[in-house]
Amino acid sequence: MARLGNGVAMRQRARIALSPAMRQELDLLRMTNAELTQHLQRLAEANPWIALSRRAVFGSGFAAGQEGPAQAEVAAAGPSLYAHVSRHVAALFPPGPARDLALHFLDVLEPSGWLGAPVAEVARRAGAGEAEALAVLARLQRIEPRGLFARSLAECLRLQAEEAGELDAVMAVLLDRLDLLAAGDLATLARLAGVAEAEVAARARALRRLDPKPGAHFAAAPAPPPACPKAPDLRVVRDAGGDWQVMLDDLSLPLATLRDGPAEDRARREAARVLAMVERRNATLLRIVAAIAQRQAAALEGGAERLRPLRQADLAEDLGLHESTVSRALAGLRIGTPGGEMPVTAFFSGTAADGVAVAQVRAALARLVAAEDPAAPLGDGALAERLADEGLAVARRTVAKYRGQLGIPPAAARARDGAQDGTRAACESAAPSARLRA
C-alpha cells in the first residue's frame, strides 16, 4: 500500500485479465452435463462441422424384425425422417447382419440427414468390419432424397450432383474445394479445373441449387424421453480388480465429434477448438472426481460414517489446481455410486476434532439417536460418550450443535408423547448405512 499524503492511501491489487478463450474454458467447466448438452446443441445448430449423437444409442439396438422404442414413437408421429428411412431400410435389407448394420446407421442419422458418427465407430458398435459397413452405407446413400447419410457437406452435394447427371470433372473440382467456392475465388477454381471462369460460375450456380440438408424437410418427430431423466453426471463403480473407477455418465452427455472437411475452414477450426475444450473439461472432471474417490474409498464402501476430512482447497493443492477450478468443476455435479446418487460435494467435510470428519460425526450421531431406547433417550453428554467409544471424540456442545443441524430435538423433547415417531423417521433418513448425503 502506498501513501499519497493527506491521509490518502492507494492499494495495488493484482488482477488477472482473462482472455475470451479462458472465460469459455471456465464456463464449460462449471456446466453440469445437462447444461453442457444444451450448450452443444446450440453450437451444433450454428456450426455444421459439429456432429452430436447419443452415446448410449449404440447399446440400444434391437434384433432384426423387431420394432424398437424409437420406431414405435415415430410410427405415431407421422412422416418423420426416421420413419421415412425405416421403411426404406426394411425394403432394401432382408433380416440379417446387413439390416442390423443399417439400423445402427439409422440410429446416428441426424435431423439434417447427415451421418452423426464415423463409419468405423458404427461398425465397431455393430460388431462388423469397416468394409462391410461402407458397403451398407453406399446402399443407404441411394435412398431418396439424395444426400442422406452423407458424412460431409461435399459428399452430400456430390450425391445429389451425381443423381442430377451434373457430376463431371469440373463439378468434382468445385466439390473438392468448397473453401475456394465459399471465398468466391473463381479464378483459382477455373485454373484447377482447366476451364474458363464463366464455366465455373455456371457450375457454381448449379451447385447452389442443391440441398445441403436433405433431412430437414421432413416432419419433426417428438423427441424421445431420456432413458434416464435424472441421470447423474458421473458414476463410480468397482472394476474386476476391486478398484474404484470413475466415468462420465453416457446417458447424460452426447458424443460430440468433428465432421471431416478442409482443415483451413474457419468454422471447422472453431468447432475443433470448442470440442477440444469440452474434452479438457471432461478430463478435468474425471481427474478431480477420481482423486475424491481415492481419498474417500472407505466412505464409498461403508457410507458417511467412514468419510475422511477433505477440503476442496487441500484437494486442489494435491492436484496442482487452483481451488476455484475445483469449486467450479464440482458445483451442481451429481455422482452415481453403489449406495445411490448424491452431489459430489457430499464427499467433502470439515474437521470436527482430532481429524474426525464433520459428516462422519453427524452420520454416527443420527444412527445412535435412531437406535436409542424410546423410553430413555440419550442426552448430549451420553451421546458424546457413545461417540467417543467409537473413536469419535467430540465435546458435548459439539454434539448439541450437530444434533440441532440434523433437526433432532433434545432428549427431553424426544421423550415426550407424540415426538417419537417423527424423530425416529428423521434420524433414520439422516443416517443411511451405505449412502452419503449433502
The size of the chain, in residues, is: 438
Helix (H, G, I), strand (E, B) or coil at 10: strand
Helix (H, G, I), strand (E, B) or coil at 56: helix
pLDDT-derived band at 353, boundaries 50, 70, 90? low
Q: What pLDDT shows up at residue 74?
A: 31
Q: What pLDDT shows up at residue 360?
A: 64
Q: Across all residues in the chain, what is the average pLDDT?
A: 74
Domain ranges of the chain: 165-209, 349-430
Stretch 46-60: mean pLDDT: 60
Residue 78 has pLDDT above 90, yes or no: no
- C-beta separation of 238 from 338 below 8 A: yes
Higher-pLDDT residue of 420, 366: 366
What's 184's DSSP letter?
Answer: T
d(CA 178, CA 262): 8
| Residue pLDDT, tens place only, 104-147 | 888 788 888 888 888 998 888 788 899 999 999 999 999 999 99
| Residue pLDDT, tens place only, 9-35 | 444 444 455 667 777 888 888 888 888
Residue 376 has pLDDT above 80, yes or no: no
Residue 315 has pLDDT above 90, yes or no: no
Stretch 349-356: mean pLDDT: 55
Higher-pLDDT residue of 77, 29: 29
Closest by CA to 352, choosing from 378, 388, 382, 299, is: 388
Q: Which residue has the cell 467409537?
A: 390
- C-beta separation of 347 from 301 below 8 A: no
Residue 83 has pLDDT above 80, yes or no: no
Residue 310 has pLDDT above 90, yes or no: no
pLDDT-derived band at 72, boundaries 50, 70, 90? very low
Stretch 55-84: mean pLDDT: 40
pLDDT-derived band at 8, boundaries 50, 70, 90? very low
Residue 228 has pLDDT above 70, yes or no: no
pLDDT-derived band at 267, boundaries 50, 70, 90? confident
Helix (H, G, I), strand (E, B) or coil at 92: helix
Q: What pLDDT shows up at residue 159?
A: 94
Cα 412 from chain centre: 50
Q: Residue 215: beta bridge partners?
A: none
Phi, psi of 56 (to 5 degrees): -85, -5
Hey, which bits of 282-377 come out as E strands?
Answer: 334-337, 340-343, 351-353, 356-357
| Residue pLDDT, tens place only, 167-186 | 889 999 999 998 888 888 89
